[in-house]
Amino acid sequence: MAGGPEVPRLKYLEPYAEAARTWLHAEAEVVDTTHLTPAQAAQQIVLRATGGSYVDQ
């Protein structure tokens, strides 16, 4: 595909950014995963979803 696989996803960028500006951040808890590994991101999501009561086993 011309432009690589990322091109089709770009069409969703502006609608997502608009949702984030208008209602998404008010309705959901946003987890910044910019500098997290996938495992760290998953742990943050679980901790927030369980009120911090998750124990890694």
Question: Over its length of 57 residues, how does the chain's per-residue pLDDT go in tens digits?
Answer: 555 666 777 888 898 889 888 888 888 888 889 999 999 999 999 998 888 766 665
Q: Is 51 left (phi over 0), alpha (psi -120 to 50) or beta?
A: left
Q: What is the dihedral of CA 46, 52, 56, 57, to 10 degrees?
A: -110
Q: Given CA atoms 27, 19, 22, 43 in this order, what sign does their dihedral have?
A: positive
Q: Are 45 and 31 in contact (CB under 8 A)?
A: yes
Q: What is the pTM of this model?
A: 0.54
List, in order, residues 6 or more apart from 39 with CB less than 8 Å away.
none
